[in-house]
């Protein structure tokens, strides 16, 4: 099992480096993607008075936003980072129980780099690789047989 995860991890790094090497933007700055660096500016309620969305703006750069969407049971459904109202940065999607279903990265409103999908037990199910919104590869954990 450990060998399988290691192989998938190494393959993910190689593909991510390939797809992102020409990217001129520096996404390694923690202020872009740290929740602590955002201020809550608006909470949207549904027809029953339950929170359905929260909108945040960056303390350091007003073109950067973060949005959280919520299921009706108040568990987080989506955490997405935005730049000028376009998806740009990490993206996380959760099921109604609060378990992470998949995570990935967007650049200029398009999938970019690695998207990881999880089983209900938290183990990696498969990994997809994107370049400017185009899927360029996929690795399914079930396809690896290591003895």
CA distance 129 to 94: 20
pLDDT of 5-42, one tens digit each?
A: 545 554 555 444 444 444 444 444 444 577 788 999 99
> 45, 13, 48, 7: which is closest to 129 by C-alpha?
13
Asked if pLDDT for residue 145 goes beyond 50, the answer is no
pLDDT of residue 97: 96
pLDDT of residue 114: 93
Mean pLDDT of the chain: 82
Helix (H, G, I), strand (E, B) or coil at 84: coil
Going along the chain from its start, the domains and CATH numbers come out as 2-22+40-143 (3.90.930)
pLDDT of 70-89, one tens digit each?
A: 999 999 999 999 999 999 99
Task: Output phi, psi for 11, to 5 deg.
Answer: -65, -40
């Amino acid at each position: 099992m450990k060998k399988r995860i290691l192989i998938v991890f190494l393959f993910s790094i190689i593909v991510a480096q390939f797809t992102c090497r020409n990217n001129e933007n520096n996404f390694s700055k923690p202020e872009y993607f740290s929740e602590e660096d955002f201020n809550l500016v608006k909470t949207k309620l549904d027809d029953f008075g339950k929170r359905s969305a929260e909108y945040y703006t960056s303390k350091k750069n007003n073109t950067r936003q973060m949005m959280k969407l919520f299921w009706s049971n108040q568990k987080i459904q989506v955490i997405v980072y935005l730049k000028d109202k376009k998806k740009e940065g990490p993206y996380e999607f959760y099921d109604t129980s609060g378990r992470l279903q998949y995570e990935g990265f967007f650049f200029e409103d398009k999938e970019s780099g690695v998207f990881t999908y999880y089983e209900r037990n938290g183990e990696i199910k498969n990994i997809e690789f994107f370049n400017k919104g185009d899927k360029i590869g996929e690795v399914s954990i079930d396809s690896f047989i290591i003895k």
